[in-house]
Chains A and B, each alone.
Chain A
Amino acid sequence: MDFLLGGFVTAIQLLLTGDGETYSAVFATVRVSGYSMAASLALGVPGGFFLGHFDFRGKRQLRLVVDTLLALPTVLIGLLVYAFLSQRGPLGGWGLLFTLPGIAIGQTLLALPVVVALTATAVEAMDRHLRTTLITLGVSRTQLLLSILWEGRLGILVAAATAYGRVTTEVGVSMMVGGNIKWLTRTMTTAIALETNKGQFAMGVALGLVLMAIAFVVNFSVFFLRRR
């Protein structure tokens, strides 16, 4: 167990001394997850609201599809995005393979069902009297939609936190679409996988600690905001 303990001590040193390679992976992860979260929230919150609020033909079937996509394997998304972005693929001309935006596309596909499903659940779970109350107070149609979203903000926050947890911890998409290129597309999770294969635990443990810290900050923020 000495190698683990030693790895932990070295990990602390890497973080405290500002090791460039370690922080490159941290920043790549933060950037790519920022892109993917922005896209998945922009698309997923309205989509989830639509799915949760309105009644339409095929709603139950659509809900079933979205719920099924929650279990989509990251390697399958990686495979599909790779196929689309490779030179032979329909989007090959965009030159996004082995780039952070390329990884972000895959992670958006990963996070989108989470945001849609949990937002729809949050909207469905809201009191049935909310709509009546808002209309009787004089809202317009637009104000009605915005007010319902605001009332369901806690559920949407939980959806965002859950989706963020999923994108920051995935390996498959980042590895397959990003290529794990040092200083460029290497994220925390792909770096941990690589360093562990090399038997270099220190950097893996250091990045693991950063991942844990991010998870703590996200969950603490949700906890703090829920109390408000």
Chain B
Amino acid sequence: MKPPLYTIRSLVHAYDGGPPVLAIERLSVAAGSILGLVGPNGSGKSTLLKLLAFVEKPTRGEIRFKDRPAAPFSDAVRFQVTLLTQEPYLMRRSVHANVAYGLKLRGRSRDCRRQVAAALSLVGLAAERFADRKWYQLSGGEAQRVSLAARLALQPEALLLDEPTASVDAASAELIKAAVIRARDQWGTTLVIASHDRQWLYEICDDSLHLFRGRILESGADNLLFGPWQPGPAGFWHKPLAGGGVLRVPPPPDDQAVGVLDARAVSLTARGAASPPGLNTLDGVVSRLVLEKNTRRIVATISVGLLALTVKLDPERVQALHLYPGKAVRIHFAPQAVAWCDPA
């Protein structure tokens, strides 16, 4: 087993003396792996990426890189780690100069034009068309891809991507995916990627980390169930869903608590199948099917009114149910399968 590239211990980070926005007791990121970060807005994904990129110093705790302590601007990480932020900034110069900037800092300006062209081609931009363009002559998606090319050109040991597909079209998202996988396969780059596009992440990540309110949720936190919850019969609490149906859960710590539901605890049947007693039974529609890279299982997204639930199935089960996007299905899960997030 490869040694971890990153090791985090007792990390706490807060901005301007405010409350902690991130608290991670222990985390390791294996070298050469692709780790996905998922979680709602404000869950701490971008903060964690900035800390892993050594842009900021954590308020408390330690981040070790290759088992050595590291800090912003330190030689141990300056040329090894790079981050593509959610809203990448292009410097006021040409595309070529933007992509070549990091190469020049590293003293790799020899054969620069070829390196820049190769990096641009990785993100689907032809150097002859784009290299001489100014920063203001690019669309939002092109600027995003130029920024990624500037990072890929560096062939970094760690490449951190914050919502890399947020402002690009489907074709560009595929190009970015291919470039990311190539970076790992060719250069052994370790990738940590935050994205709201879970399906895109599932297709490329070896593992995923669920963040919520600045904390890492236990593995299996595929579905977050938000309140408000109301007391109901038989000791359960419930929430009426838009479009019909009721979600039953065990008693929450408070009526606004957030529940976590493991995708493996959810079963899927054809619409009209008998409802097992005591289980939540919700009718929905398959909205997406994706192959999970590391487990070879199928990740199905089921839309139940405004609620989207993730279910993980064996390929045989998908075949038996003849699942396809748009198919009406019924899902079941025990109320007791819902766990509650730490209110802190």
Contact = CB atoms under 8 A, between A and B. Distances in A.
Interface of A: 127, 129-130, 132-133, 135-141, 143, 147, 151, 154
A151 B92 CA distance: 6
Contacts of B84: 136
B324 interface: no
A223 to B, nearest CB: 16
Given A132-B83, A135-B72, A136-B85, 14 more contacts: A127-B89, A129-B85, A129-B88, A133-B85, A135-B54, A135-B73, A136-B82, A136-B84, A137-B101, A138-B102, A138-B106, A139-B105, A151-B91, A154-B92
B327 to A, nearest CB: 43
B146 to A, nearest CB: 12
Interface in B59-82: 72-73, 78-79, 81-82
A135 B55 contact: yes
B55 A136 contact: yes
Most chain B CB inside 10 Å of its own CB: which residue of A135, A140, A141, A147: A135
Contacts of A138: 78-79, 82, 102, 105-106, 154
Contacts of B106: 138
Contacts of B91: 130, 133, 147, 151
A132 B85 contact: yes
Contacts of A154: 92
Determine the main DSSP class of A at the interface with B. helix
Contacts of B254: none
Contact of B88 (A133, A140, A151): A133
Most chain B CB inside 10 Å of its own CB: which residue of A132, A141, A151: A132
Nearest to B72: A135
A64 to B, nearest CB: 22
A143 B99 CA distance: 17
B157 to A, nearest CB: 12
B22 interface: no
Nearest to B150: A137
B50 interface: yes
B239 to A, nearest CB: 39
Contacts of B85: 129, 132-133, 136
Contacts of A143: 105
Interface of B: 50, 53-55, 72-73, 78-79, 81-85, 87-89, 91-92, 101-102, 105-106, 147, 150-151, 154
A140 B89 CA distance: 18
Contacts of B87: 129
8 closest pairs, A vs B, by CB?
A: A129-B89, A137-B102, A136-B83, A133-B89, A138-B105, A138-B78, A136-B82, A138-B79
Contacts of B55: 132, 135-136
Contacts of B82: 136-138
Contacts of A129: 85, 87-89
Most chain A CB inside 10 Å of its own CB: which residue of B55, B92, B101, B147: B92
B102 to A, nearest CB: 4
B46 to A, nearest CB: 10
A133 B50 CA distance: 11
A140 B75 CA distance: 9
Given A132-B83, A136-B55, A141 B89 contact: no
Nearest to A140: B73
A129 B86 CA distance: 9
Most chain B CB inside 10 Å of its own CB: which residue of A129, A137, A139, A147: A137
B73 A130 contact: no
Contacts of A127: 89
A170 to B, nearest CB: 33
Contacts of A147: 91
A141 B73 CA distance: 7
Most chain A CB inside 10 Å of its own CB: which residue of B50, B84, B85, B91: B91
A133 B55 CA distance: 9
A173 to B, nearest CB: 36
A182 B46 CA distance: 66
A154 B73 CA distance: 27
Contacts of B89: 127, 129-130, 132-133
A191 B87 CA distance: 55
Nearest to B77: A138
16 contacts: A129-B88, A129-B89, A132-B89, A133-B85, A133-B91, A135-B53, A136-B84, A137-B101, A137-B105, A137-B154, A138-B79, A138-B154, A139-B105, A140-B73, A147-B91, A151-B92
Contacts of A140: 73, 78
B149 to A, nearest CB: 12
A127 B136 CA distance: 14
A32 B241 CA distance: 77
